[in-house]
A = this chain, B = another copy of it.
Amino acid sequence: MSSEFGKIVKVSVFGQSHGRAIGVVVDGLPAGEAIDLEELNAFLDRRRPGKSALSTARKETDLPAFLSGLEDGKTCGAPLCAVIENADQHSKDYSGLKEKPRPGHADYTASVKWGGHADMRGGGHFSGRLTAPLCVAGGIAKQILARRSVYAGAHLYSAAGIPDEPFPLYPTQTLFASIAEKAFPVLDGGAGERMQAAILDARNSLDSVGGVIECAAIGLPAGLGDPMFDGIESRLSAALFGIPAVKGVEFGAGFSAAALRGSENNDPFTMENGQVRGKTNHAGGILGGITTGMPIVFRAAVKPTPSIGQPQQTISLATRENAELTIHGRHDPCIAHRAVPVVEAVTAIVLLDLLLEGNHGTF
């Protein structure tokens, strides 16, 4: 079982980039939740391509059709299915790719696994386009969470090695909303301009760049999650690595914690207005796999788009000899900024799942 995650709320993604349609089934949503389709569309708009030279020229209107689970604007308890028709594919751009796998893509591994039957036009089921239905599911989860004062927000923490500011100790819903309104999702506008210049520079060199996304979630109670393999980190990371191109996930201080001393990395507890708080949040809001009540904070590393216009060395699956490949077609010189809402979406789904599962510590 590959394209699904979740325990109470199960999200199952289907579709290939150039197939008839892509979509998602969300099973386990609570009933009676009003879904604001305009708000959902505004969320989907944040990952849509075709808006500037920073991303692929492929047009995606991406208006989902709801086949089930949503009646009179509210969830009805039954599994929700949303479908997005594919259009504006340029499949001929991909002719020849079946024979010559693109470096950094799943073309080769899919050909080994599925023995040549794989539909890899446009990346097939591995395409970043599959994140559109993920965002439909996540956008719905975000609306349900917001009604319970739980919010997830993300920004581009770095791109092409250029850093944004990190989130403050206590990110707010207002901060999340302000990022969501920006054309380029950073805290520091100046950093954002330098990132965009670097992306365009890469594009002009027929190249691409990667980035790191920082995400925070606020409003969760302490005590959610479980020890060991069902902890918050395990659940979030398993879902986040399902986003194409994510190659690293770290919580709180993450990799930098490994170079700190315990006296630096431990977050002292303190009482604030009757609440137990951390003076710092190197734990990223998670101790022993369980929420502390501090914001959950993590970062996901997104590799540079593997589709680049430069000639690349590969092999021919037919002749099993070395070969050269030049990829044509429209590609994103960077996908990290478009992946920001995707990370929010996946996070929202995991958090909704956790909240519905409940604490279960006591009964």
Contact assessment for A247 and B284 in the assembled complex, using a CB-CB cutoff below 8 Å: yes
* Size bracket, chain A contacts: 35 or more
How far, in whole Å, are A279 and B322 apart by their CA atoms in the complex?
12
Contact assessment for B2 and A308 in the assembled complex, using a CB-CB cutoff below 8 Å: no
Contact assessment for B283 and A124 in the assembled complex, using a CB-CB cutoff below 8 Å: no
* Chain B residues whose CB sits within 8 angstroms of the CB of A208 once the complex forms: 261-263
Interface mask (A123-161 → B, CB under 8 Å = 1, otherwise 0): 011100010000000000000100010000000001111
How far, in whole Å, are A274 and B19 apart by their CA atoms in the complex?
33
How far, in whole Å, are A303 and B68 apart by their CA atoms in the complex?
27
Does A169 sit at the interface, judged by CB under 8 A?
A: no
A361 CB → nearest B CB, Å: 3
Does A12 sit at the interface, judged by CB under 8 A?
A: yes
Which of A229-279 touch B at CB < 8 Å? 229-231, 233-235, 237-239, 241-242, 244, 246-255, 257-271, 274, 276, 279
Instruction: Apart from A15-B79, A104-B266, A233-B247, list 17 A-B contacts with CB within 8 A.
Output: A1-B27, A4-B27, A4-B229, A7-B7, A8-B357, A12-B27, A13-B228, A20-B67, A31-B114, A31-B117, A130-B228, A161-B258, A202-B262, A207-B262, A248-B255, A262-B308, A263-B312
Interface mask (A98-126 → B, CB under 8 Å = 1, otherwise 0): 00010111101110111111110000111
Does A226 sit at the interface, judged by CB under 8 A?
A: yes
How far, in whole Å, are A103 and B260 apart by their CA atoms in the complex?
15
Q: Which of A45-53, A174-182, A185-193, A289-297 contacts B (4 or more CB under 8 A)?
A: A289-297
* Chain B residues whose CB sits within 8 angstroms of the CB of A14 once the complex forms: 25, 27, 67-69, 78-81
Contact assessment for B106 and A253 in the assembled complex, using a CB-CB cutoff below 8 Å: no
A92 CB → nearest B CB, Å: 16
How far, in whole Å, are A65 and B83 apart by their CA atoms in the complex?
12
A76 and chain B: residue at smallest CB distance: B119
Among all A-B residue pairs, the 3 with the closest Cβ atoms: A106-B288, A248-B250, A2-B226
Contact assessment for A108 and B2 in the assembled complex, using a CB-CB cutoff below 8 Å: no
How far, in whole Å, are A257 and B25 apart by their CA atoms in the complex?
32
